[in-house]
């Protein structure tokens, strides 16, 4: 991966993967994202342009969206949290938080390629055109609607990636599969980065989610269900030595053991499961 075309493809794919992971974390479902490289930023996506520079690498990443696009993305996240919000300022703030989390991830990716730390500098909305950038359009399937976001890479940034030493740490370990693995590990460890001190994110932190504990499951024929009476025993698929599952919003997030706390049942968490395991529990 030592030419500009490969670097562009790699960064576009990485941003797409991280953006999907952020949507999954904030909305509970990973959207399908299609990527199409274009010669320039589509005029329709010029309504909201966000420029993100980085410390440790020249150039910047641009993210642009039409009003329809950023309102759809922000509204999707808020509705998933049970918030029916139509205020444009809140929708815009939520959209930018989602984008910023993905940009924080791509900074780590570039740092791995360059062999030194790369961090997001102060980003800002910009009305200035990105005159020297390569663009791709991401079509994000949000179920009832589709949000379209354009991402641009400054030529200076891509050039710096190409010029990095071939033997830099992680240079041979930056495949999309590896990036997904690293992102999942960070998420499981509570290491998702982003503007967690923003007003909208704090609002999401107060959202209440249903928490339940599963001791096991069983499939029983209807004829046997009709025979159930007081005192009947249903055998579950888990032994008494296996941990119980902690379920939040229909997704298994942890496993542990049952304890008694002041006369009430509780669960002592032994293991917080990874993102890959969480996806499997949804099937």
Query: Each residue of 51-81: pLDDT tens digit?
Result: 999 988 899 999 999 999 999 999 998 888 7
Q: What is the pLDDT of residue 282?
A: 59
Q: What is the pLDDT of residue 187?
A: 46
Instruction: Quickly list H helices, the chain.
Output: 4-27, 67-80, 88-114, 155-162, 176-188, 199-205, 222-225, 275-282
Q: What is the pLDDT of residue 89?
A: 86
Name which of 110, 131, 142 is nearest 24 in CA terms. 142
Q: What is the pLDDT of residue 44?
A: 62
Give the domains, in start order, of the chain with CATH numbers: 4-205 (3.40.1550.10), 211-282 (2.30.330.10)
Sole residue written with tokens 């320039």: 40
Q: What is the pLDDT of residue 250?
A: 72
Using CA atoms, how far apart are residues 138 and 151, in angstroms rounded to an integer?
8
Tell me the CA distances in angstroms from 218 to 215, 236, 237, one per residue in order: 10, 5, 6
At a CB cut-off of 8 Å and minimum separation 6, what does 51 contact?
Answer: 60, 61, 62, 123, 124, 125, 126, 128, 130
**Which stretches of the chain drop beneath a pLDDT of 70?**
1, 42-46, 85, 165-206, 275-283
Contact between 27 and 77 under an 8 Å Cβ cutoff? The reply is yes
Q: How far is CA 38 from the centre of its chain?
A: 24
Q: What is the pLDDT of residue 46?
A: 66
pLDDT in tens, 101-122: 899 888 888 888 888 888 888 8
- What tokens does 36 get? 């199409």
Tell me the CA distances in angstroms from 6 to 13, 133, 161, 175, 261, one per residue in order: 11, 15, 10, 12, 56
- What tokens does 259 get? 């304890």
Name which of 195, 209, 207 is nearest 94 in CA terms. 195
């Amino acid at each position: 991966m030592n030419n500009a075309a490969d670097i562009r493809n790699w960064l576009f794919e990485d941003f797409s993967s991280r953006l999907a992971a952020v949507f999954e974390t904030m909305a509970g479902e990973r959207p399908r994202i299609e990527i199409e490289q274009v010669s320039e930023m589509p005029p329709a996506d010029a309504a909201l342009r966000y420029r993100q520079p980085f410390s440790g690498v020249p150039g910047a990443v641009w993210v642009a969206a039409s009003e329809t696009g950023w309102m759809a993305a922000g509204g999707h996240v808020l509705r998933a949290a049970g918030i029916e919000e139509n205020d444009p300022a809140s929708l815009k703030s939520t959209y930018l938080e989602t984008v910023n989390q993905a940009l924080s991830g791509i900074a780590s990716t570039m740092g791995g390629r360059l062999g030194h730390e790369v961090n997001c500098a102060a980003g800002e909305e910009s009305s200035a055109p990105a005159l020297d950038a390569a663009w791709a359009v991401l079509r994000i399937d949000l179920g009832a609607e589709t949000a379209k976001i354009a991402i641009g890479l400054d030529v200076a940034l891509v050039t710096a990636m190409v010029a990095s030493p071939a033997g830099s740490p992680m240079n041979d370990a930056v495949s999309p599969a590896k990036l997904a693995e690293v992102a999942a590990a960070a998420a499981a460890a509570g290491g998702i980065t982003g503007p967690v001190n923003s007003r909208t994110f704090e609002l999401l932190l107060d959202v209440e989610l249903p928490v339940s504990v599963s001791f096991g499951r069983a499939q029983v024929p209807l004829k046997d269900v009709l025979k159930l009476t007081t005192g009947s025993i249903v055998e579950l698929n888990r032994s008494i030595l296996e941990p119980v599952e902690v379920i939040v919003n229909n997704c298994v997030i942890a496993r542990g053991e049952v304890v008694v706390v002041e006369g009430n049942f509780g669960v002592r968490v032994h293991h917080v499961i990874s993102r890959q395991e969480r996806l499997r529990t949804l099937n």
